[in-house]
Chain A
Amino acid sequence: EAQVTQNPRYLITVTGKKLTVTCSQNMNHEYMSWYRQDPGLGLRQIYYSMNVEVTDKGDVPEGYKVSRKEKRNFPLILESPSPNQTSLYFCASSRVLEPYEQYFGPGTRLTVT
């Protein structure tokens, strides 16, 4: 089954404790992206990657890091989480020539206390 998976699905952590949210896709997509979804603000892009070792900032990259060492994986790293990073996070993937046709993962709900 073609899918995007994220882990963990739910996470409660404390300020300053480094964490990683994993994202993996099995569709051989070149393009992957991370979004956060907040009430009233919709989905906002954090980082995206056009292919292995190629990443770029989205609209809200502050406080986040990413890496793309393998085509199928695109982890999101919060090195020092803060309460304003409490949000619902989605990973998405698509063919690089069709980034308007994205497939989304199930989401990771993160709470930072």
Chain B
Amino acid sequence: QKEVEQDPGPLSVPEGAIVSLNCTYSNSAFQYFMWYRQYSRKGPELLMYTYSSGNKEDGRFTAQVDKSSKYISLFIRDSQPSDSATYLCAGYTGGFKTIFGAGTRLFVKA
């Protein structure tokens, strides 16, 4: 079993929709949870991270962690065509190792 699981998609939504991207994880030692965005032919860039459980909001993006169910979510409000990318969730245990999910491809249609 992979430590971080993501549905690969693709997920296709119309412009303006609310997008929900999700991951499940199995490693109870994860302390930090991250979301990275990766455009085609580019390196991943950090969108946001959360420590332990709870919500964190940054503009149109909200990250949510539920440690009781080992579930990580990223919500994108008012989605734009420029949000079309692959989104990677990841967990960090504190031992200098980060475990990534395989990514979900998102297409936002104008």
B6 CB, min distance to chain A CBs, angstroms = 8
A105: chain B residues within 8 A (beta carbon): 43
A8–B32 CA distance with the chains assembled, in angstroms:
32
Q: Could you tell me which residues of chain B, from 1 to 23, have a CB within 8 Å of some CB in chain A?
A: 4, 6, 8
A74: chain B residues within 8 A (beta carbon): none
Tell me if B98 and A45 are in contact (CB < 8 A).
Answer: yes
Interface size class of B (residues with CB under 8 A): 20 to 34
B40 CB, min distance to chain A CBs, angstroms = 11
A33: chain B residues within 8 A (beta carbon): 98
Interface size class of A (residues with CB under 8 A): 20 to 34
Q: State whether A90 and B103 are in contact (beta carbons under 8 Å apart), knowing that A48-B96, A99-B96 are contacts in the complex.
A: no
- A13-21, A35-43, A76-84 - the one binding chain B: A35-43
Main secondary structure of the interface of A (DSSP, over half): strand
Tell me if A42 and B88 are in contact (CB < 8 A).
Answer: yes
B92 at the interface (CB under 8 A from A): yes
A18–B45 CA distance with the chains assembled, in angstroms:
30
Contact of A40 among B8, B36, B96 (CB under 8 A): B8
A50 at the interface (CB under 8 A from B): yes
Tell me if A107 and B96 are in contact (CB < 8 A).
Answer: no
Contact of B96 among A31, A43, A90 (CB under 8 A): A31
B103: chain A residues within 8 A (beta carbon): 42
Contact with A along B18-36 (1 / 0, CB 8 A): 0000000000000010101
Tell me if A104 and B44 are in contact (CB < 8 A).
Answer: yes
A45: chain B residues within 8 A (beta carbon): 97-98
Q: State whether A102 and B97 are in contact (beta carbons under 8 Å apart), knowing that A41-B102, A43-B88 are contacts in the complex.
A: no
B92: chain A residues within 8 A (beta carbon): 99-100
- CB within 8 Å of A: which residues of B? 4, 6, 8, 32, 34, 36, 41-46, 49, 88, 90, 92, 96-98, 100-103
